[in-house]
Structure 1
Amino acid sequence: MCLGIPGEVVEILSDRQDLAKVDVNGVRRVINVGLLDGEDLEPGDWVLIHVGFALSKIDEEEARAALEFLETLGKAYQDEMDALRDSRID
């Protein structure tokens, strides 16, 4: 099962405006934000992430509710977090 997981934008990479560093429950990764072209994205914003891409910008309340729900899924959520920890965009 693949899930969309909320992540908080920590940094927009200065040399690659299509990439951002996000934090998902303490796991920090670089993701592609190119699909959000035209969105005013900055540190502190929340995005919904799927397979290394930000699919949409969401508000913090929605992000927190989604994270709480995802944690109830148990193994599926843990598998997705493990995949995120192992992922890299260079």
Structure 2
Amino acid sequence: MVELRENDLALVDLGGIRKEISLALVSAANVGDYVIVHVGYALGLIDPEEAQRTLEMFGELSRAQAESL
């Protein structure tokens, strides 16, 4: 998360796209935390190491798709 906002809202960065999400289900989230997001809601916190592994896998998939075009 990059910014906490009023009314249980936050701003997240999704690969360069910034989106406002609800923190109604994850009240313990702070700026700098990684959260799992689905349809505009943070569903849970994720460990930073696990988040990095996941982001790397998404990057590999993106590169593989680009190469196959």
TM-score of the superposition, structure 1-length normalised? 0.61
Where do residues 1-90 of structure 1 align in structure 2 (5 Å cutoff)? 9-13=1-5, 15-16=6-7, 18-37=8-27, 39=28, 41-71=29-59, 72=61, 74=65
SS in 1 for 2:25: helix
Supply the distance in 1 between the matched residues of 2:54 and 2:44 (Cα, whole angstroms): 13
Query: Mind listing any 5+ residue stretches in structure 2 that lack a counterpart?
Result: none
Q: Which structure would you say has the larger RCO, counting Cα contacts within 8 Å and 6 or more residues apart?
A: 1
> How many residues in Structure 1 have an aligned counterpart in Structure 2?
63
SS in 1 for 2:2: strand
Query: Mind listing any 5+ residue stretches in structure 1 that lack a counterpart?
Result: 1-8, 75-90
TM-score of the superposition, structure 2-length normalised? 0.76
Q: Which runs of 4+ in 1 moved over 4 A?
A: none
Larger radius of gyration: 2
Tell me what 1:83 maps to.
Answer: none
